[in-house]
A and B are shown apart, each in its own frame.
Chain A
Amino acid sequence: MAARRPLSAEEQARLAALLRANPALTAVWEEEARLSQCLHRLPPVPVSSNFTALVRQRVARESAPARAREAAFSPFRAWLRSWGLGWQLGTAGLVLAVGIATYRQHQLQVRTEMLREVAALSALANSPGVDTLIDYVPIQTLPASAAADRELLDALR
């Protein structure tokens, strides 16, 4: 703490008591105090007398392109500003209305698609039962030639 500010009278007294009780700490304390002095008393690095003027020149030089860019955009900004609050609110309302209409259209599409799928499902419910379809696969795998039909007839006979 003494490295940051002078100690108060009370702190000085407490420190003196501590050092009396621990004489070995005295040397360490003195070194610490001298180190703080060393750091605090380091000579300031010389700064050129025109430092501030040089900074001002650099600011002027480096902010010139930014000002030019800003100037290029200023007519557009002025045009936007000239719109006024009424126009801005109107535009916001229009954007909101278009957004709501788009969302509703999307919902309608989703519902139509769902209806179509439900209709397809109900059509499937009217198709023949599983028993009817059980021989469907073997019949499908029979060869389509006339010789096969004859073989089948012979077999049935």
Chain B
Amino acid sequence: MGADQESDAALMLRVQRGDMVAFEALVDRHKQGVVNLVYRTLPDAAEAEDLAQTAFVQVYKSAHRYRATAKFTTWLYTIARNLCLNEIRRRSRHPAEALDAPVAGVEGESERQIGDVRSFSPDQTALHNELSEKVEQALSELPENQRTALLLCQQEDLAYDDIAKVLDCSLSATKSLIHRGRETLRQRLKTYLRSGQWNAARD
């Protein structure tokens, strides 16, 4: 069976044995979801990708702690979210420092590497500018836990149970976060949702 068809848990068991091919398959499979989440938490494409890479490095380094009974995506998004929260806390303590500022004592931190291709296609850009900008703006104004819950629910199709684990809260609290987030978005995007502009632009 190729790495493409293997389940996340099976790949992680191979990663625990040091299998780099399995690890790369996991990275390829989940990089988009992690970058999406991180970018919408820290809206800076370069920093989001750097943090997403850090999340995968953490996954590799902590692979021995992974148990196949746990869902891999829950574990991965928990790591990614914790990194985002740490970064937000760090920024609030040192507002003038950027992520790429060298941190003393952390090997390789100053050698931050940026990917080669990172831009929206013309079609994407047009949509991004016109309508999704409004949605992105409304999303960015939500409290972090509501936004993360909504994104994991709507974009990554995680089950409520799994979202609750990522957010470290109860199932009912998770449902409440999603409901409140949707309600706020609905109020802020009322004009667009009533006119159906989004559909018209996409279809």
A interface residues (Cβ-Cβ under 8 A, vs B): 3-4, 27, 30-32, 34-52, 54-59, 61-63, 65-66
How many residues of B are in contact with the other chain, CB < 8 A? 56
Q: Quick check: A44 and B32 within 8 Å, CB to CB?
A: yes
Q: Quick check: B24 and A32 within 8 Å, CB to CB?
A: no
Measured between C-beta atoms, what is the minimum distance from B105 to chain A in Å?
12
Given contacts A34-B199, A35-B186, A59-B57, contact A45 B135 (CB under 8 A): no
Q: Quick check: B155 and A51 within 8 Å, CB to CB?
A: no
Question: Main secondary structure on chain B at its contact with chain A?
Answer: helix
Q: Quick check: A42 and B193 within 8 Å, CB to CB?
A: no
Given contacts A3-B154, A47-B49, 18 further A-B contacts (CB under 8 A): A31-B186, A38-B135, A38-B192, A39-B154, A42-B36, A42-B155, A43-B120, A46-B45, A48-B114, A48-B116, A48-B117, A49-B117, A50-B117, A51-B31, A51-B35, A55-B53, A58-B113, A59-B61
Q: Quick check: A51 and B186 within 8 Å, CB to CB?
A: no
Binary CB contact string for chain B from 103 to 131 against chain A (1 if under 8 A, 0 otherwise):
00001100001111111100010011001
Complex partner residue of B150 from A27, A39, A45, A61, CB under 8 angstroms: A39
Question: Main secondary structure on chain A at its contact with chain B?
Answer: helix
Complex partner residue of B118 from A34, A46, A55, A58, CB under 8 angstroms: A46
Q: Which residue of B lies closest to A45 (CB)?
A: B39
Contacting residues, chain A, for B114 (C-beta < 8 A) = 48
Contacting residues, chain B, for A66 (C-beta < 8 A) = 61
Contacting residues, chain B, for A46 (C-beta < 8 A) = 45, 117-120, 124
